[in-house]
Amino acid sequence: MLKKIANIIDRLALGKYTNDLLFAIILFIASFTAITTIIRTQERSLESDLKLKSALIKDAVINQSKLNFLLNDSIGFLDLHNQIYETSDNIIEASFYDINGDLIWGHLEDNPSNKIFEIPEGKDFMGLEGYIYLKFPVLDNTDEPLGDIQFKCSTKQITGEITSLKIRLFVLSSILIITLLAISLWARSKLLSLTRSQAFTTARVELTEKNNSRLANIIENLPRGIAFENKQGYIAHLNQKFLDLLGIDTKIKDVLGLHCNQACAMFASVFPESERFEERTIEIVNNRKIVTDDTLKLLDGRSLTRHYAPVYEDGAFIGNLWAYADNTIETRFYENLSFEREKYMNIIANMEIGLLEVDNDDQILTANNAFLKMTKYTEEDLIGKIGYEILVSEKEAERIKKMNATRIEGESSIYEIEYLTKDGEVRHMMVSGGPNRDIKGNVIGSIGIHLDITKLKELEKLREELIKDLTESNDELSNYAHVVSHDLKTPLRSISAAMSWLKEDNKDSLDEMSQSYLEIVDEALLKMDKIISDTLRYSEIKRKTNTDSNVDLNHITGHLINELKQSYPETKIEINGTLPILTINETKIMQVFQNILDNACKYSDPSKKSRVKISCSLIFGFFEFAIEDNGIGIPEEHAHHVFEIFRKLNNNEGSNGVGMSIVKKIIDSYGGKIWFESEVGKGTIFKFNLPRSLRSATTV
């Protein structure tokens, strides 16, 4: 235990008072043990006295009274009870219980149950809330138990006496311990004062004798080159590392004792600027101020870092301490880093992208050549100036201020802005700006990359003008197409009418050959009329119209199927699933389905029962429609001609090569795509998709 206490004292830096503190602790423990023993003895004495008094009173009660009479005489009991109180101040209650522990007589204030308090086994009494309860058995003349007498005794007197005794003993022991400890400390201080001077003198002598050897060992084992000059300027200490770093082939003993000027002249020979080395060394010594990271170049290309510190003892100067370290690797690293930085700065400075660096107040720090060329300013015009005050209009200045505020928050952005050149010309710039941070990550400004898009803006303007011109031209062409189609159809109608009149007037005189010629002319006229109509429809596909409406594709395909059944009764056309409701031009979407379904029925395989299936699925953001037939299929060599205008893949007289071109143009005009998969002899699947955005809001 004492050993643990001693360790704790050592950790608390109280080691020099260990003996005194241990002595005080031992005295305290001894006094505490003595006080505890005395108090315990006194408590037992008082308790024994209390039990003795109670026993005497019990005997008096039994001997002086007729107990059987008292059991039934409350007046007699009250007299006896008062007599007990007068006999002893400590006994405040007396009560008698039968052999079952039930109250026969007594005056109880804190025992409403009227049951006797049971004394724990092995004890003579029971303590409870500041009182002691004593129990004595009562026997008759034949030693048969009649019951028990229980006394409630106050412990206030005992407690008071014990408390008073504790206070007196603790005060006396504390005074004794403090007195002994003070005497011990006084004696110790006297002893220390007598020996301090002698001990200090002895230690000083020992340190002086060992100082030189210890210092020499420390200097020799340091990883740096160390040299120490005494206050007279002579080399007092030097390690081999110093000579190795300088590359001087000499021994330490040849350098020790040299004056600083002589040693400096010897060392200067290894530096390319020897005179500068000597001048700088003398300058440092004369100033007597700490110098760090003084870089030196050697003749062999290596770099050294020199550190200097004046040494003082008790405020008095005692010499100069030099430390040399090889930092060739670090120097070359920073030289390479500087070279790379300069190289990339030159690249940035000469590229066609403008770079502008500003601080948090938009004060310009750097601007590369490209930016200067864009704005026609010079560095002197911009460096140190507030950017938004000279480079942009007042309206754009507010935008730049807002952007700078976001830079401080660490945000980057790309925006377009109008710059003003030095001569007032407006230039359009695309700016990519981001925060500029220091080594600690704090935002210190922003860097903007500027791309001059003035020419692009001019081209955009030209494009808009061209689009406008093209739109006007398209409108004119469309009007021209209407006029031409009307003008072309007029003579066709005239020819058709003339042919009808000719046949009517000469029906009896024309032979069979002439009749066939007239029929060929009629068919050619009808075919020419259809080509003109289809060409007109093809030219109008991409014209803007406001005729889009909610079209139920189930309804229009059902209508087309009923019409096609009349022309192709042998073909079975069915819809798999439900088709969507789209907001689209009803005529155009009907042309899409009509042309594809008509081709599927027209090019059926006579050797098998013709069938056509229509289906739709939702794939990503598109409705994908599929129209599958089991017809003759499309040869691979003709596949690339399917959507070309006026290209027919066979000699079918009912085709003019325009239908699928119209389909593709309609699908393209709504941002969709059409394609097909086919195999000769097995059939064809035409697929096309339309954006999901065309879906009607009324679709359930």
Q: Is 655 exposed, middle or buried (0-12, 13-18, 19+ CB in 10 A)?
A: middle
Model pLDDT, residue 236: 84
Token pair for residue 415?
A: 């925006």
d(CA 501, CA 199): 153
Q: Is 594 helix (H, G, I), strand (E, B) or coil?
A: helix
Q: How many residues make up the chain in this entry?
A: 700
d(CA 319, CA 226): 13
Report pLDDT digits (tens) over 124-178.
677 766 677 777 777 766 677 778 877 777 766 667 776 777 777 677 777 877 7
Looking at the DSSP assignment, which residues form a beta bridge with residue 618? Answer: 623
Model pLDDT, residue 482: 57
Backbone φ, ψ for residue 411 (5° rounding): -95, 150
List, in order, residues 6 or more apart from 234 with CB less than 8 Å away: 257, 258, 259, 260
Q: What is the DSSP letter of 579?
A: P
Quick one: CA dihedral 52, 55, 61, 63, positive or negative? negative
What is the reported pTM?
Answer: 0.32
Report pLDDT digits (tens) over 353-408.
888 888 888 888 888 888 888 888 888 888 888 888 888 888 888 888 887 777 77
Look at residues 522, 529, 516, 520 and name the one whose alpha carbon lies nearest to residue 499: 522
**Angle subtended at Cα 126 by Cα 125 and Cα 129, rounded to the nearest 5 degrees:** 140
Which helix or strand (DSSP H or E) is residue 324 part of?
strand 316-326
CB-CB contact of 463 with 447 (8 Å): no
Backbone φ, ψ for residue 418 (5° rounding): -100, 125
Look at residues 560, 591, 583, 579 and name the one whose alpha carbon lies nearest to residue 626: 579
Look at residues 571, 474, 489 and name the one whose alpha carbon lies nearest to residue 528: 489
Token pair for residue 161?
A: 């006496």
Is residue 343 pLDDT above 90, yes or no? no
Token pair for residue 97?
A: 């219980």
Backbone φ, ψ for residue 432 (5° rounding): -110, 105
Query: What's the gap between Cα 305 and its chain centre?
Result: 42
Looking at the DSSP assignment, which residues form a beta bridge with residue 675? Answer: 687
Band of residue 10 on the pLDDT scale cut at 50, 70, 90: low
Highest mean pLDDT among 143-157, 249-263, 589-603 belongs to 589-603
Pairing between β-strand 131-139 and β-strand 145-154 as defined by DSSP bridges: antiparallel
3-state SS, one letter per residue, for 330-388: HHHHHHHHHHHHHHHHHHHHHCCCEEEEEECCCEEEEECHHHHHHHCCCHHHHCCCEHH
557, amino acid identity: T
372, amino acid identity: L
List, in order, residues 6 or more apart from 624 with CB less than 8 Å away: 616, 617, 618, 687, 688, 689
List, in order, residues 6 or more apart from 353 with CB less than 8 Å away: 370, 449, 450, 451
Is residue 311 pLDDT above 50, yes or no? yes
Query: Per-residue pLDDT averaged across 184-194, rounded?
Result: 67
Is residue 540 pLDDT above 70, yes or no? no
d(CA 315, CA 289): 15
Q: What is the DSSP letter of 118?
A: P
Token pair for residue 256?
A: 């020790």
Is residue 52 pLDDT above 70, yes or no? no
Distances, alpha carbon 110 to alpha carbons 88, 113, 131, 149, 159, in Å: 20, 9, 11, 17, 21
Tokens 């109670």, residue located: 54
User: What are the CB-based long-range contacts (under 8 Å, 24+) for 487-492?
Assistant: 488/532, 489/529, 489/532, 492/525, 492/528, 492/529, 492/532
Backbone φ, ψ for residue 259 (5° rounding): -75, 155
Look at residues 237, 372, 380, 223 and name the one whose alpha carbon lies nearest to residue 318: 237
List, in order, residues 6 or more apart from 528 with CB less than 8 Å away: 492
Report pLDDT digits (tens) over 215-248.
566 666 777 888 888 888 888 888 888 888 888 8
Band of residue 60 on the pLDDT scale cut at 50, 70, 90: low
Q: How far apart are the first and last CA of the chain?
A: 89
Got the DSSP string for 206-254?
HHHHHHHHHHHHHHHHSSSEEEEEETTSBEEEE-HHHHHHHT----HHH
d(CA 240, CA 244): 6
Q: Is 608 helix (H, G, I), strand (E, B) or coil?
A: coil
Across the chain, mean pLDDT equals 76
Strand order in the sheet with 91-98: 103-106, 91-98, 145-154, 131-139, 125-128
Token pair for residue 684?
A: 């064809």
Model pLDDT, residue 690: 93
CB-CB contact of 306 with 277 (8 Å): no
Which residue has better confidence, 428 or 495? 428
Query: Per-residue pLDDT averaged across 302-331, rounded?
Result: 86
Report pLDDT digits (tens) over 396-450.
888 888 877 777 777 888 888 888 888 888 888 888 888 888 878 888 888 888 8
Tokens 């860097």, residue located: 447
Is residue 689 pLDDT above 90, yes or no? yes
d(CA 615, CA 572): 15
Query: Per-residue pLDDT averaged across 648-668, rounded?
Result: 68
Model pLDDT, residue 369: 82
Is residue 261 pLDDT above 70, yes or no? yes
Band of residue 120 on the pLDDT scale cut at 50, 70, 90: confident
CB-CB contact of 538 with 576 (8 Å): no
d(CA 519, CA 533): 21
Band of residue 9 on the pLDDT scale cut at 50, 70, 90: very low
